[in-house]
């Protein structure tokens, strides 16, 4: 499959009577977004606000972040199985509003939504402080169940991102980048002397509100499968989970997966990037065994020499991570795992809940238990009511002056396990 991403650079976002992209500015009709969101009768109120880099703005509780995109050429449409029909994507051309995002937030669904600060020390720990954000704050109808509210909020974000993406359909991109992965035998034959490398993509699927979607299917219902990397870049994998904000993969992360980007950069030069094995993270031991067995089977079947394995979440998924690592290594395939750590506020505790001697090549996104003080902001988009309750917060986290003392676990993307962050750690 060959996919072209037409990147349209967005340097500012403004409200306007017409939604359009002009001279690097995304102009947004607020009322049209509200009307679109309010089509769902599970939502009783929608507020749309803008947040730009450097502003004294705090967005919380954050549910998802989505990059606006539109399919320009090729089969299918953006966000297949959710917004558009279930057509295989990953070919043709897709335009992306590079530098803009839709951020959904509102009353808490679980307890693991997050915070995005647009300035200050918290802004340094989240990539989303660098974006021009269209924030969609949704208030659910009284009494609806959490999973119903999560779906309403998730679909609101995807609909708004689709609406904004259409503004770029006829805009000339500032940059066009092409990515290509050929059918397996062709791909192997093209670079026979380079090591064959794959990517095992672990998706969070551990129970209610821990959902990731592949072509609209909750990934807890799938067995591991093989995807072209370009399918992921074209919206085949989307977030629907409410897990700790620091290492949650938002939809933006899936669309802009940096591991896939880096593998493509080295493709044909240092490695032969064969493809992606998408797998899930499970609750029951039998399911963990099944999925890790299949991941190892695919790694061998594809003839891989090495794989990168990325995790989502922490604690229980550490077992899935180590199972994947150990079993793939047992097939003679070298592994590198990408994770983060929960090593206590002093960094002295065991970083992962599971371990194995074969997991000897590790990249970490940092220690999520590290404590930070987020200063008060001039403006809050959403609400601060839940600062003491979200994962990483504690009784008294929200101070009277509006500042927040909490673990960096509360910051969306702070220790992301795709490496989409600034933190890491080294051994000496």
Which residues participate in catalysis according to the annotation? 242
Token pair of 280 as six digits: 């899930």
Q: 3-state secondary structure string, 114-180?
A: EEEECCCCCHHHCHHHHCEEEEEEEEECCCCCHHHHHHHHHHHHHHHHHHHHHHHCCCCCCEEEEEE
Q: Pairing mode, if any, of strands 92-98 and 2-9?
A: parallel
> Are 169 and 245 within 8 A, CB to CB?
no
Distance CA 274, CA 185 (A): 10
CA–CA separation, 209 and 216 (whole Å): 15
Contacts of 385 (CB under 8 A, 6+ apart): none
**Could you tell me how far CA 220 lies from the centroid of its own chain?**
17
Tokens encoding 161: 């991102």
213, containing H or E segment: strand 212-214
Spatial distance between the Cα atoms of 146 and 60, rounded to a whole number of angstroms: 18
Helices 146-165 and 30-37 meet at what angle, rounded to 10?
140
| DSSP calls for 222-282 | ---EEE-HHHHHTTSEEE-----GGG---HHHHHT-HHHHHHHHHBTTTBEEEEEEEEE--
Taking 3-state DSSP, the helix, strand and coil percentages for the chain, each rounded to the nearest 5, stand at 25, 35, 40
Which has the closest alpha carbon to 161: 57, 83, 227? 83
Torsion of CA 291, 191, 214, 104, to 10 degrees: 120
105: three-class secondary structure by DSSP: strand
């Amino acid at each position: 499959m060959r996919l072209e991403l037409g990147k349209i650079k967005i340097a500012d976002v403004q409200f306007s009577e017409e939604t359009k992209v002009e001279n690097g500015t995304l102009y947004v009709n607020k009322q049209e977004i509200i009307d679109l969101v309010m089509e769902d009768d599970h939502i009783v109120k929608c507020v749309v606000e803008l947040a730009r880099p450097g502003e004294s703005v705090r967005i919380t509780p954050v549910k998802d972040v989505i990059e606006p995109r539109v399919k320009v050429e090729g089969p299918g449409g953006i966000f297949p199985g959710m917004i558009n029909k279930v057509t295989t994507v990953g070919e043709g051309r897709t335009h992306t509003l590079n530098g803009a995002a839709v951020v959904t937030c509102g009353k808490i669904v679980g307890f693991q939504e997050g915070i995005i600060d647009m300035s200050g020390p918290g802004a340094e720990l989240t990539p989303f402080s660098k974006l021009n954000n269209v924030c969609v704050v949704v208030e659910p109808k009284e009494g609806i169940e959490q999973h119903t509210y999560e779906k309403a909020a998730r679909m609101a974000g995807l609909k708004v991102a689709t609406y904004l993406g259409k503004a770029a359909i006829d805009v000339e991109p500032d940059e066009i980048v092409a990515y290509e992965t050929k059918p397996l035998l062709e791909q192997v034959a093209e670079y026979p002397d380079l090591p064959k490398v794959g990517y095992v993509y672990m998706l969070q699927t551990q129970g209610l509100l821990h959902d990731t979607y592949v072509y609209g299917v909750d990934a807890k219902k799938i067995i591991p499968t093989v995807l072209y990397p370009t399918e992921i870049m074209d919206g085949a994998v989307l977030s629907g989970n409410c897990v700790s904000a620091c290492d949650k993969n938002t939809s933006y992360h899936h669309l802009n997966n940096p591991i896939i980007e880096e593998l493509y950069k080295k493709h044909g030069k240092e490695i032969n990037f064969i493809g992606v094995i998408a797998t899930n993270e499970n609750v029951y031991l039998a399911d963990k065994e099944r999925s890790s067995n299949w991941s190892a089977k695919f790694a061998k079947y594809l003839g891989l020499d090495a794989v990168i394995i990325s995790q989502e979440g922490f604690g229980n998924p550490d077992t899935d991570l180590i199972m994947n690592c150990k079993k793939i290594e047992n097939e003679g395939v070298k592994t590198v795992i990408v994770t983060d750590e929960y090593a206590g506020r002093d960094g002295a505790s065991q970083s992962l809940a599971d371990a194995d001697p074969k997991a000897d090549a590790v990249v970490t996104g940092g220690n999520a238990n590290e404590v930070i003080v987020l200063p008060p902001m001039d403006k809050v988009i959403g609400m601060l009511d839940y600062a003491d309750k979200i994962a990483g917060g504690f009784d008294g986290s929200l101070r009277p002056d509006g500042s927040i003392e909490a673990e960096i676990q509360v910051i969306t993307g702070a220790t992301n396990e795709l490496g989409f962050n600034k933190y890491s750690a080294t051994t000496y």
